Amino acid sequence: TDEDALSFINKAEASFGDVGGMEDVKEEISLKIIKPLQHQDLYKAYGKKIGGGILLYGPPGCGKTHLARATAGEINANFINVGINDILDMWIGSSERNLHEIFEVARKNTPCVIFIDEIDALGANRNDVNKTAGRTIINQFLAELDGLDANNEGILVLGATNAPWYLDPAFRRPGRFDRIIFVSPPDSEAREAIFNIHLKQKPTDPIDYKSLAKASKEFSGADIMAAIDIAVEQKLQASFKDGIPKPLTTKDILKGIKKSKPTTKEW
């Protein structure tokens, strides 16, 4: 029902400022989907086509979901996060209608960003998804995407995948996911920014972000959060006695980094 669907729609709180690095990716998203939404008349005047989705691809934990949510926040849009398991569940319980309902909910709540994670799992090449299910859902999904393209309703569709090569080629046609953006592992500068974003709300001494970035080669954003979490747990231990939070230091975080493993090596 609409009500069920509405339980996973919410106003996005984050904005691009909460996403470390990815300046070029933000720029591209801005030009290709945010500006068209904000200046529909201008685009029309030049006969410039709008609509279609963007596919984000890259290693896990590097901020695709985070970026999609922030994109919604940038335009004060609602955000619907649909995981592949949601979609497969829908199939078990006659998904076609449900997939349609998601888009209906979005239509009633524009502007709206629909984010679909692990979209490659819909690819017919994968043997872990029932082929018939895959085909039916793919067709329904493509129909919804094509429908959006025709009447531009203030709905942006972002898809994410770690494995674009599995994606059914039908997704890539014009007006569908015709743009593909690589969300790379964060470089040193981006890692500095990510540490900053996730530490600035916590009690800390002045932090040497450069040395954190240097020590965290090949860390994803998620890895960075895990390293911070290790440091936080240590500090909690030290704070239990007197109940006063002890500020995190650069050294604490460096220790957290040492105890974590980077996950983006093969990218």
Comparing CB distances to ligand ATP, the nearer of 17 and 245 is 17
Contact 195, 212 (CB under 8 A): yes
- Nearer CB in complex with ligand ATP: 101/218: 218
3-state secondary structure at position 225: helix
Please measure the distance between the N-terminal and C-terminal CA atoms of the chain and give it in whole angstroms.
41
Least gap, CB of 221 to ligand ATP (angstroms): 2
DSSP character string of 61-100: TSSHHHHHHHHHHHTT-EEEEE-HHHHHHHHHT-HHHHHH
Closest approach of ligand ATP to the CB of residue 59, in Å: 7
Q: Which is nearer to ligand ATP, 138 or 190 (CB)?
A: 190
Q: Which residue is nearest to ligand ATP (CB)?
A: 221
What are the residues binding ligand ATP (CB under 6 A)? 19-22, 60-66, 117, 160, 162, 186, 194, 197, 221-222, 225
Residue 257: CB minimum distance to ligand ATP, A: 15
Rg of the chain, C-alpha, whole Å = 21
Give the 3-state secondary structure of residue 188: helix
- Cβ of residue 45: shortest distance to ligand ATP, in angstroms? 35
Closest CA to 52 of 174, 180, 181: 174
Nearer to ligand ATP, 87 or 194 (CB): 194
